Amino acid sequence: MRLVADIGGTNMRLGLAGQGALQQESVRSFSNDGVSGAEAAIDRFLSDAGTAEITEIVLAVAGPVTGRQARLTNRDWCIDADRIAVRYGAGVRLINDLTALGHAVPILSGELLHPVCAGSVADGGSGQSLVVGIGTGFNVCPVIDAGETVCFNAEMGLATMPTGVASALDALRPGLAPQFLMVEDLFSGRGFVRFCQLVGASDGLTAAQIIDGCRTDARLAGAAEDYAGLLGWLLRDLMLAYMPMAGIYFAGGVARGLLSTGAGAHCLKVLHRPLPMGVPAQCPIWLIGDDAAALQGCSRVMI
């Protein structure tokens, strides 16, 4: 039996997998604030599940994986594969959480994959797709499907904000676009909240409360639309960097919230402006509605 876990900056999901497939009914979620660390959550999960015979553990971590260790970008936790292997007597592999989502792409389907934009897939999209995660932090995973699925590690959230986003932000609110803003300073839960404060639409609301308020409050809805437009500017650079003509797959709490409002149209409006040299921008776009999708990727990878 394999234990799989997706450890984000705010939330953690755990489950059991056998023969390369996730056992959906085993999946449990924890708020990271409610546990002292990843191992405490694993202990609680295993004790609730009453499962003793774990032989493999695959942990998807929201931060860079360096050899047998990983540090969460947005929480002061360090995950040590060797220590966990000794503690649970199992083989352990660490992968980046977006890379885990990339491995899930070929098996995502059904009601938990929502179409955002139909697009047009010329020549099968060359098998190149891109997962874009906006949650506590931001990251991407370029995926190539060439018979087998190849996923690339990235740390895009830590990159400097592209100038297109910075100048669009500056146009919305002159003087507020810092030169060296990191991508996830804006595209993340805290970034969304900060943006809505900067444009004077909200004060003290959480990201989820802002999204809820969009239905009845025109100022909040307008801020969400402007924010989605900024995301469109970022997507243009991601289109040029990765040419994901087989599709873009959004994941994460902020992406799910934002795209549940009408704001997604503003993102597409910016994205679909002509790109340099006639590079096509019309790829299919999907929203991964399944919060446990990374666990499916963890279930499929070799240990």
> Which residues have C-beta within 8 Å of that of residue 86, sequence separation ≥ 6?
none
In sequence order, the 6+-apart residues with CB closer than 8 A to the CB of 106 are 145, 149
Query: At its nearest, how many Å lie between ligand ATP and the CB of residue 207?
Result: 3
Closest contact distance (angstroms) between CB of 137 and ligand ATP is: 4
Task: Please identify, using beta-carbon distances, which residue of 245 and 301 lies nearer to ligand ATP.
Answer: 301
The CB-of-50 to ligand ATP minimum distance in angstroms stands at 26
Residue 258 φ/ψ, nearest 5 degrees: -60, -45
Minimum CB distance to ligand ATP smaller for 81 or for 251: 251
CB atoms within 10 A of CB 113: 15
Residue 272 has phi, psi (to 5 degrees) of: -85, 5
What SS3 string covers 213-260?
HCCCCHHHHHHHHHHHHHHHHHHHHHHHHHCCCCEEEEECHHHHHHHC
CB of 235 to ligand ATP, least distance (A): 18
Q: Measured between alpha carbons, how far is residue 26 from residues 18, 88, 171, 198, 253 in Å?
A: 11, 19, 48, 42, 21
DSSP 275: P
> What is the smallest separation between the CB atom of 29 and ligand ATP, expressed in angstroms?
9
CA 274 to chain centre: 26
Least Å distance, CB 168 to ligand ATP, is 20
Identity of the residue, 65 or 90, whose beta carbon is nearer to ligand ATP in the bound complex? 65
- C-beta of 245 vs 293, nearer to ligand ATP: 293
d(CA 27, CA 70): 23
Cα–Cα distance, 202 to 27 (Å, whole number): 35
- The number of beta carbons lying within 10 Å of the beta carbon of residue 278 is 7
> Of 168 and 258, which has the nearer Cβ to ligand ATP?
258
- In the complex with ligand ATP, the residue whose CB is nearer, 119 or 252, is 252
Residue closer to ligand ATP (CB basis): 263 or 281 = 263
Q: Minimum Å distance from CB 284 to ligand ATP?
A: 22
Q: 99 vs 299, which CB is nearer to ligand ATP?
A: 99
Q: How far is the CB of 95 from ligand ATP (least distance, A)?
A: 13
Two structure tokens written together for 43: 């202990």
Closest CA to 9 of 143, 157, 198: 157
Chain residues in the site for ligand ATP (CB under 6 A): 8-11, 62, 74, 97, 133, 135-137, 189, 206-208, 211, 252-254, 257
